């Protein structure tokens, strides 16, 4: 099923009798979803771009590369730098903006500017009953009401099939530099990253690669400001070592390409940075990477590793990105009740991405 319009999608959903598996570009298969494939690929195209208002509206099936190319012509960007999962997952195709929103995909810059959902202005979607729903708007000054915009970001298609999304975009940066510390163990690296994030020097990326013992700090902005802040940050972090000015491959950090082609389960773990090093050592991973100053751990583990049991007593949650088993961390009972109620309201027949949350 590949609808070419929102109305056609609505009619399709009303007519089906069984579950639907919703896909965009097919680059990020996740969970154990049952049902007939419903693709949003034909719901494609940028419908509005107002550079002066820093807004962009696109249909859900629009490839992210097309959006980035359009924004680049006006020296603008998606500031939350969505991850490209193809290398990590071994998939092909093109990531779509609807898939980015559905999974709330956000890259290293999340620590400084926020997540995908923080840039959403409006959404259009078709719910499990076939109703066309619109919430939010196409401008930054929005109407009041239920915030379905943020609710849809990270719902993984269980509440509705996105057809159109509206974003706030930001100007591109004039200059960027990456400063790197070498030879730090995980605990010390996280201390350094925390110090950098706690500084007034507007760090927009902090990541640590234990395999190479490299700890990266990204600075962006006007050239003179970047130069000043780089010098000041180097002085601040001098107790951790001499910082080198490096190229900094943030797309590789964002996309976790170090794990590409390697055997094993891949886990994405959200945890307090102060507990990250101890947890990484506890889970017995073959390899780890730290992003968001240690608040995000990517772990490559032997097949079947029970990461969640190792997390008992540690605040946080783990998502199985690549592997077999339950994808999402079990929700606390009160939150699970809310989630169940929402799905019953927006998908009363239980046909949208059935099984993805279990």
> What does the block give as tokens for 133?
């729903």
Residue 231 lies in a domain: yes
Whether 221 and 290 map to the same domain: the answer is no
Residue 340 lies in a domain: no
Whether 235 and 261 map to the same domain: the answer is no
**Which ranges of the chain have pLDDT less than 50?**
139-145
The last residue of one of the domains, among 205, 235, 254, is 254
CATH no. for residue 206?
3.30.70.330
Whether 202 and 96 map to the same domain: the answer is no
Distance (Å, whole) CA 351 – CA 237: 53
pLDDT score recorded for residue 342? 85
Residue 332 lies in a domain: no
Whether 217 and 113 map to the same domain: the answer is no
Residue 136 lies in a domain: yes
pLDDT score recorded for residue 199? 96
CATH no. for residue 267?
3.30.70
Per-position b or e across 289-301, b if 16+ CB within 10 A of its CB: bbbbbbbbbbbbb
Q: Which residues contact 309 (CB under 8 A, 6 or more apart)?
A: none
pLDDT score recorded for residue 3? 92
pLDDT score recorded for residue 137? 62
CATH no. for residue 107?
3.30.465.10
Whether 207 and 273 map to the same domain: the answer is no
pLDDT score recorded for residue 144? 47
Whether 312 and 260 map to the same domain: the answer is yes
pLDDT score recorded for residue 140? 47
Residue 329 lies in a domain: no
Q: In which domain, by residue range, is 297 found?
A: 256-322
Whether 116 and 204 map to the same domain: the answer is no
Whether 23 and 167 map to the same domain: the answer is yes
pTM passes above 0.95: no
Strand order in the sheet with 120-126: 46-50, 55-59, 161-168, 120-126, 132-136
The last residue of one of the domains, among 151, 171, 191, is 171
Whether 158 and 209 map to the same domain: the answer is no
Helices (H), 90-129: 97-102, 110-113
Domain count, the chain: 3
Name the nearest CA neighbour of 23 among 40, 43, 8, 44: 40
pLDDT score recorded for residue 146? 54
The 10s digit of each residue's pLDDT in 2-44 is 999 999 999 999 999 889 888 888 888 776 777 889 999 999 9
For residue 248, report the phi and psi dihedrals to the nearest 5 degrees. 70, 95
Residue 345 lies in a domain: no
Residue 269 lies in a domain: yes
How does strand 20-23 pair with strand 36-39? parallel
Residue 355 lies in a domain: no
pLDDT score recorded for residue 338? 82
Whether 201 and 273 map to the same domain: the answer is no
∠ CA 129-141-167, rounded to 5°:
60
pLDDT score recorded for residue 358? 59
Whether 11 and 160 map to the same domain: the answer is yes
The last residue of one of the domains, among 207, 230, 254, is 254
Q: Contact at 8 Å (CB) between 137 and 76?
A: no
Whether 181 and 91 map to the same domain: the answer is no
Site of tokens 């970047």: 226
Percent helix, percent strand, percent coil in the chain, to nearest 5: 30, 25, 40
The 10s digit of each residue's pLDDT in 45-86 is 999 999 999 999 999 999 999 999 999 999 999 999 999 999
């Amino acid at each position: 099923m590949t609808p070419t319009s929102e109305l056609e999608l609505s009619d399709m959903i009303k007519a089906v009798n069984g579950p639907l598996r919703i896909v965009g570009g097919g680059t990020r298969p996740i969970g154990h979803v049952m049902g007939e494939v419903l693709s949003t690929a034909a719901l494609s195209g940028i419908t509005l771009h107002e550079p002066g208002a820093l807004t962009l509206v696109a249909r859900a099936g629009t490839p992210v590369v097309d959006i980035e190319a359009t924004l680049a012509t006006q020296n603008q960007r998606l500031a939350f730098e969505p991850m490209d999962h193809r290398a990590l997952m071994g998939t092909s195709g093109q990531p779509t903006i609807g898939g980015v929103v559905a999974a709330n995909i956000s890259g290293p810059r999340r620590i400084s500017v926020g997540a995908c959902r923080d840039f959403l202005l409006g959404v259009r979607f078709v719910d499990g009953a076939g109703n066309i729903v619109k919430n939010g708007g196409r401008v930054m000054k929005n109407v009041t009401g239920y915030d379905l915009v943020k609710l849809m970001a990270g719902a993984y298609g269980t509440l509705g099939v996105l057809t159109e999304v509206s974003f706030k975009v930001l100007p591109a940066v004039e200059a960027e530099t990456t400063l790197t510390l070498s030879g730090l163990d995980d605990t010390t690296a996280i201390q350094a990253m925390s110090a950098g994030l706690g500084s007034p020097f507007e760090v927009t990326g902090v990541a640590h690669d234990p395999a190479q013992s490299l700890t990266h700090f990204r600075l962006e902005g006007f050239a003179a400001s970047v130069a000043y802040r780089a010098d000041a940050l180097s002085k601040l972090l001098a107790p951790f070592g001499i910082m080198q000015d490096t190229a900094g491959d943030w797309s590789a950090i964002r996309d976790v390409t170090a794990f590409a082609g390697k055997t094993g389960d891949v886990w994405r773990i959200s945890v307090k940075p102060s507990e990250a090093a101890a947890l990484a050592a506890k889970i017995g991973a073959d390899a780890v990477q730290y992003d968001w100053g240690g608040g995000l751990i990517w772990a490559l583990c032997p097949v079947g590793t029970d990461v969640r049991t190792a997390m008992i007593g540690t605040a946080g949650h783990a998502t199985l990105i690549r592997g077999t088993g339950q994808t999402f961390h079990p929700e606390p009972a009160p939150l699970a009740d809310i989630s169940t109620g929402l799905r019953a309201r927006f998908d009363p027949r239980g046909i949208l991405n059935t099984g993805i949350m279990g």
